[in-house]
A and B are shown apart, each in its own frame.
Chain A
Amino acid sequence: MIIEALIAVTFLAALVTFVVPNRYAGKAAFALSLAPVVGSLYMWQQYDASGNALLGGNIAFETDVAWLQLGQYDIHWMVGVDGISMPLVVLTTILTTLAIVSAWTPISERQSQFFGLMLLMEANLLGVFTALDFFVWFIFWEAVLLPMYFLIGVWGGPRRKYAAIKFFVYTNIASLVMFIGFISLVFGLGDSISSFRLPEIAQALQAGQLGSFAGLSAGALASVAFIAMFFGFAVKVPVAPLHTWLPDAHVEAPTPVSVMLAGVLLKMGTYALLRFNFTMLPETARAFALPIALLAVASVIYGALLALAQQDLKRIVAYSSVSSMGYVILGLIAYTTYGVGGATFQMVAHGLISGLMFMAVGVIYNTTHTRMVSDMSGIADRMPVTAGIFVAGAFGYMGLPLMAGFAAEFFIFKGAFESTVMEAMPLFTGAAMFGIVIVAGYLLFAMQRTLFGPFRFDGDYDITEAPFHDVAPLAVLLLLTIVLGVSPDIFFTMIQDAVNPILELGGAF
């Protein structure tokens, strides 16, 4: 029941925030958002799952109640967590609270609606990461889009309308394709399943129950469904060349929304890829290893090169997210314990570090009202604390040892080198590792030009250190990044425990 309570409390917090007067909405939302943080930490402390939730593992905090009988298959209210979803639940609650605090300064109108939508989005995100029935999952998955659409569209920058519509159209089309792909897979299973519960579907697929549907043989159906689902999730991740909505959305979104978008929403895509494509159809995934690895490396390199070409600090961080998500895909397709486990770990690590980077850019923007690299220089003189954290975060991004990014990328590369899915995997890994060099290049370049050197600022604003409540979330994120980097086992043990059953299916243990 604790998962239901967690989601319900967050929903209630959203509703309360909607009616709180604008002046107090930010503070109220912060106070209310502490409840889910405490709840998720309590869940983590009580966590007792083992194995993978979809593959017969022992699920923590499981609820399974029949909800709807629609035709052939029942829909159940089924929620629970395992080692893959538990870290993401903790990440979601903590990052939302920090994003809410970071929104106190930049959000100056319609605050109660803004903070209400943030909490509404958090509730749905928690649903996405805990749902174990396809329909429950899909409803939450889609429901995340609506608050995001408004958050970008109402509080965004000058081109917010375009960005919001683009985000909405891209992700909805992707959802539809994915939905059709998955449903045809379910129909292909015929009578071997009785409901949309993901564990039941995954286990029926492992047992080879897939039949033909709509004129497609079982093998062709698996391929078509895999491609449809991969497309749907790849838009969300995003994987190049489906990434073009991301920079627009990030640049136009207000900083706290960017934090949520990069920190948690992108992880929905990689989480779903792991849960659906790579857990349910491992043979098909291995058959498609070459194109997937190509896409992964293309995302890493192309995203990094695009970041190198940007003048806008936020665009730099946005494109570097594309690059980082490429590593996740590479780790997933490796089908080794360090590859898939590292990819899952990277979801959390990147959530913290990209959140940190976006927030740092936001804090600088709050003061300077510009994000253009060419407009400023030597900001570190006037904002030493912010600049210091920015530099630390950037090094985390580059993969400085003892920070979370290093552990994640190290796991992924180790896993990818060991991979047996195809002969050329080390080649792809080597190519992807080159991305790190470019990351270091553009981050160092951007920092050198904006933060250091003689102070220069082409604007009329007084540049002084940011207020405490702007810097505090940055410090918390930095601390968490270091903690996770020093002892990755906090999460990595449970992740590996949940990931290993998948590898046995992939045959590449």
Chain B
Amino acid sequence: MTPLQTLPEWAATAPAIVLALTGLALLLIDTIDPDSTNNGLLAGTATLGALAAGGIAGWFLIGGTGMESTGGAISLYGDALVVDGMSLFFTLIFTSVAAMVTVASYDYLADEPHQGEFYSLVIFATTGMTLMGMSNSLATVFISLELASLPSYALVAFLKKDRGSIEAGLKYFLIGALSSAVFAFGISLVFAVTGSLVLPEVAASLAEGTELVGVLGLGVLMIAGGFAFKTASVPFHFWAPEAYEGAPAPVSAFLSSASKAAGFAVAFRVFTVAFPLETVTAVGGGSVDWSLLFAVLAVVTMTLGNFAAATQNNVKRMLAYSSIGHAGYALIGLAAITTDGGAANGDVLGASMAHLFVYGFMNTGAFLFIAMVEKWGLGRTFEDYNGIASKAPIAASAMTVFMFSLAGLPPFGGFFSKYALFESAIGSGFWWLAAVGAVNSALSLFYYSRVVKAMWIEEPSKPLEIGSQPVGLYVAIIFAAVGTVLLLPGFQPVIETAQTVAAALF
């Protein structure tokens, strides 16, 4: 089965097109009926659009669009965009997270104004992320990054009457603007050295050698900084706890899962395609070694995220720091790339992508559970979670699955994705990186199990009242939990696809 045999090449961008059209359709619905009492219609449209885009991406992945079996990556618009296995794989992550978030928002937003705007912002941000995955030029990288970021700023500040939400939005926007500036400056430096913005041409130009090693090094460093912001990695991580805590919980879920994955999608492509390690190390005489940079960032990010998470009293903030910790794990995908790695490079990058895929389910589910608790009005600290399991055993069971899976405990999906990541890091010779990851992972069990303990074992400190049983939130959470569990026996297709499409980058 090879889709697109008779279709024009631009049809390969169908997931992005479907998402953009969905966003426009949402605006149209909102224009026709601005009173926005039709929350179900809006949420349904957004979810269907996300699912359709994800379905197309999955169909393309199975059919082999843009992969070696059907003639390799499809370049579009003068190499500005490229559709290959990796972009489709990440599209699948973005759309599945977006679908869960929009379903869950049906209940979360029930009493809020401006619902049409909310759903269209989510879908437009998802469109931007999908484009980030396809970007093949530093210009499209920058534009799609902004397309994903600008709706996110508005989404974080969506609760206009909530000071925390506004504060979070402002902080997120200011740091985002700063990092965008740094990122754009980095792009200009790279352009000054190589004379091109298209990723493969940058690499080709670097292969011929350059005397401006210092400028190139600075440019690469600044571009890495831009990605660090988007993925909430050290040193541009400090917006994340503020933004995730202040934002409406479904938006936190969306940002910490999809937006982070998008940052990794574009970082993986830029660094492996535009700055292949063997080329940049040869040019700089070893001084521009981004693998070492990412190894340091990975260790610092996972350790800092974990230790900060362990000291929190607020569950949402704890999850925000845990999300930083997971960015550290995913960075191993870039850190463990070596100049003579061969197949091992594809393995470790693919393992990182597979981890982000599993993370998309377990982390989104965890934040959506927080959304549910917020909906019940129970508060945000560990004490407020005491005894929830006695009132809502199904939701609490799902949250237990997410927590143990995030900690990397069998029998859940997070176990295999972490194992694959550490195993492939060892395969690349980075056993110390795997060891740091494993130790961090073990420590993380401490704070994840606190949530479980509060829900199941502690007695509620005050009488628990759980008013509503929000259907949309339940559907999204159970979907995420079932996904997290099934990703243990069903991990084979995910890791196989991820490692195959990652190998195509080298």
Give the residues in chain A near B404, CB-CB below 8 Å: 146
Q: Is the CB of A176 within 8 A of B438?
A: yes
Give the residues in chain B near A382, CB-CB below 8 Å: none
Give the residues in chain B near A146, CB-CB below 8 Å: 404, 409
- Known contacts A72-B427, A161-B458, A187-B426; is A153 also within 8 Å of B415 by CB? no
Give the residues in chain A near B409, CB-CB below 8 Å: 142, 146, 172
Q: Is the CB of B453 within 8 A of A172?
A: no
Q: How far is the CA of A139 from the CA of B492 in the complex (A)?
A: 16
Looking across the interface, which residue of chain A has its beta carbon closest to that of B424?
A71
Give the residues in chain B near A150, CB-CB below 8 Å: 456-457
**Is B504 interfacial (CB 8 A cutoff)?**
no
Q: Is the CB of B495 within 8 A of A70?
A: yes
**Is B469 interfacial (CB 8 A cutoff)?**
no
Contact flags A41-76 to B (C-beta < 8 A → 1, else 0)? 000000000000000000000000001111110000
Contact flags A146-169 to B (C-beta < 8 A → 1, else 0)? 100010011000001100110011
The B362-398 residues at the A interface (CB cut-off 8 A) are: 390, 393
Give the residues in chain B near A169, CB-CB below 8 Å: 446
Q: Is the CB of A69 within 8 A of B431?
A: no
**Is A214 interfacial (CB 8 A cutoff)?**
yes
Contact flags A66-105 to B (C-beta < 8 A → 1, else 0)? 0111111000000000000000000000000000000000
Shortest distance between the CB of A119 and any CB in chain B (Å) = 15
Give the residues in chain A near B416, CB-CB below 8 Å: 68, 70
Looking across the interface, which residue of chain B has its beta carbon closest to that of A152?
B457
Q: How far is the CA of A110 from the CA of B391 in the complex (A)?
A: 11
Q: Is the CB of B423 within 8 A of A70?
A: yes
- Known contacts A68-B495, A69-B492; is A172 also within 8 Å of B411 by CB? no
Shortest distance between the CB of A236 and any CB in chain B (Å) = 16
Q: Which residue in A139, A161, A180 is a CB contact (below 8 Å) of B415?
A: A139
Give the residues in chain A near B419, CB-CB below 8 Å: 70
Give the residues in chain B near A180, CB-CB below 8 Å: 435, 438
- Known contacts A142-B410, A143-B411; is A70 also within 8 Å of B420 by CB? yes
Q: Is the CB of A68 within 8 A of B491?
A: yes
Give the residues in chain A near B411, CB-CB below 8 Å: 139-140, 142-143
Q: How far is the CA of A457 from the CA of B445 in the complex (A)?
A: 45
Give the residues in chain A near B424, CB-CB below 8 Å: 71
Looking across the interface, which residue of chain A has its beta carbon closest to that of B344?
A71
Looking across the interface, which residue of chain B has its beta carbon closest to that of A113?
B393
Looking across the interface, which residue of chain B has its beta carbon closest to that of A214?
B431
**Is A173 interfacial (CB 8 A cutoff)?**
yes
Give the residues in chain A near B62, CB-CB below 8 Å: none
**Is A138 interfacial (CB 8 A cutoff)?**
yes
Looking across the interface, which residue of chain A has its beta carbon closest to that of B409?
A142
Q: Which residue in A71, A110, A143, A172 is a CB contact (below 8 Å) of B445?
A: A172
**Is B496 interfacial (CB 8 A cutoff)?**
yes
Interface residue SS majority, chain B: helix
Q: How many residues of B contact A (CB 8 A)?
A: 32
**Is B442 interfacial (CB 8 A cutoff)?**
yes
Q: How far is the CA of A146 from the CA of B435 in the complex (A)?
A: 24
Q: Is the CB of A173 within 8 A of B492?
A: no
Q: Is the CB of A172 within 8 A of B457?
A: no
Contact flags B484-499 to A (C-beta < 8 A → 1, else 0)? 0000110110011000
Give the residues in chain B near A67, CB-CB below 8 Å: 489, 492
- Known contacts A71-B347, A71-B420, A173-B442; is A139 also within 8 Å of B495 by CB? no
**Is B449 interfacial (CB 8 A cutoff)?**
yes
Q: How far is the CA of A168 from the CA of B403 in the complex (A)?
A: 14
Q: Is the CB of A154 within 8 A of B427?
A: no
Q: Is the CB of A165 within 8 A of B453?
A: yes
Q: How many residues of A contact B (CB 8 A)?
A: 29
Q: How far is the CA of A287 from the CA of B456 in the complex (A)?
A: 46
Give the residues in chain B near A154, CB-CB below 8 Å: 456-457
Give the residues in chain B near A138, CB-CB below 8 Å: 410
Q: How far is the CA of A376 from the CA of B62 in the complex (A)?
A: 72
Shortest distance between the CB of A16 and any CB in chain B (Å) = 16
Q: How far is the CA of A126 from the CA of B276 in the complex (A)?
A: 49
Give the residues in chain A near B456, CB-CB below 8 Å: 150, 153-154
The B403-433 residues at the A interface (CB cut-off 8 A) are: 404, 409-411, 415-416, 419-420, 423-424, 426-427, 431
Shortest distance between the CB of A144 and any CB in chain B (Å) = 10
Give the residues in chain B near A153, CB-CB below 8 Å: 453, 456-457
Q: How far is the CA of A121 from the CA of B431 in the complex (A)?
A: 34
Shortest distance between the CB of B346 and any CB in chain A (Å) = 11
The A207-241 residues at the B interface (CB cut-off 8 A) are: 214
Shortest distance between the CB of B486 and any CB in chain A (Å) = 14
Give the residues in chain B near A187, CB-CB below 8 Å: 426
Give the residues in chain B near A113, CB-CB below 8 Å: 393
Shortest distance between the CB of B355 and any CB in chain A (Å) = 12
The B186-219 residues at the A interface (CB cut-off 8 A) are: none
Q: Which residue in B426, B427, B445, B457 is a CB contact (below 8 Å) of A160?
A: B457
Q: How far is the CA of A214 from the CA of B435 in the complex (A)?
A: 11
Give the residues in chain A near B431, CB-CB below 8 Å: 214
Q: Is the CB of B492 within 8 A of A68?
A: yes
Q: How far is the CA of A214 from the CA of B431 in the complex (A)?
A: 7
Q: How far is the CA of A138 from the CA of B416 in the complex (A)?
A: 12
Contact flags B212-243 to A (C-beta < 8 A → 1, else 0)? 00000000000000000000000000000000
Q: Is the CB of A139 within 8 A of B488?
A: yes
The B47-70 residues at the A interface (CB cut-off 8 A) are: none
Q: How far is the CA of A160 from the CA of B456 in the complex (A)?
A: 12
Shortest distance between the CB of B435 and any CB in chain A (Å) = 8
Q: How far is the CA of A401 from the CA of B4 in the complex (A)?
A: 80
Contact flags B269-290 to A (C-beta < 8 A → 1, else 0)? 0000000000000000000000
Q: How far is the CA of A160 from the CA of B457 in the complex (A)?
A: 9
Give the residues in chain B near A70, CB-CB below 8 Å: 416, 419-420, 423, 495
Looking across the interface, which residue of chain B has its beta carbon closest to that of A146?
B404
Give the residues in chain B near A164, CB-CB below 8 Å: 453, 457
Shortest distance between the CB of A176 and any CB in chain B (Å) = 5
Give the residues in chain B near A160, CB-CB below 8 Å: 457
Shortest distance between the CB of B302 and any CB in chain A (Å) = 16
- Known contacts A113-B393, A173-B442; is A71 also within 8 Å of B427 by CB? yes
Looking across the interface, which residue of chain A has its beta carbon closest to that of B397?
A18
Q: How far is the CA of A134 from the CA of B438 in the complex (A)?
A: 18
Looking across the interface, which residue of chain A has its beta carbon closest to that of B419?
A70
Q: Is the CB of B410 within 8 A of A172?
A: no
Give the residues in chain A near B445, CB-CB below 8 Å: 172
Q: How far is the CA of A150 from the CA of B426 in the complex (A)?
A: 35
Looking across the interface, which residue of chain B has its beta carbon closest to that of A77?
B489
Q: How far is the CA of A67 from the CA of B490 in the complex (A)?
A: 9
Q: How far is the CA of A113 from the CA of B390 in the complex (A)?
A: 10
Shortest distance between the CB of B488 and any CB in chain A (Å) = 7
Give the residues in chain A near B446, CB-CB below 8 Å: 169
Shortest distance between the CB of B315 and any CB in chain A (Å) = 18
Give the residues in chain B near A172, CB-CB below 8 Å: 409, 442, 445
Looking across the interface, which residue of chain B has its beta carbon closest to that of A213?
B431
Give the residues in chain A near B453, CB-CB below 8 Å: 153, 161, 164-165
Looking across the interface, which residue of chain A has its beta carbon closest to that of B354?
A70
Give the residues in chain A near B492, CB-CB below 8 Å: 67-69
Q: How far is the CA of A367 from the CA of B4 in the complex (A)?
A: 75
The B471-506 residues at the A interface (CB cut-off 8 A) are: 488-489, 491-492, 495-496
Give the residues in chain A near B438, CB-CB below 8 Å: 176, 180
Q: How far is the CA of A125 from the CA of B236 in the complex (A)?
A: 46
Shortest distance between the CB of B313 and any CB in chain A (Å) = 17
Q: How far is the CA of A71 from the CA of B449 in the complex (A)?
A: 30
Q: List 18 A-B contacts (CB under 8 A).
A: A67-B492, A68-B416, A69-B496, A70-B416, A70-B419, A70-B423, A71-B347, A139-B410, A142-B411, A146-B409, A150-B456, A153-B456, A153-B457, A154-B457, A160-B457, A169-B446, A172-B442, A172-B445
Smallest CB-CB A-B distances: 5 pairs: A153-B457, A139-B410, A142-B410, A143-B411, A139-B411
If A71-B424, A176-B442 are given as contacts, then 13 extra A-B residue pairs at C-beta distance below 8 Å, sorted by A number, are A68-B416, A68-B491, A69-B492, A69-B495, A72-B423, A138-B410, A139-B410, A140-B411, A142-B409, A150-B456, A154-B456, A160-B457, A161-B457
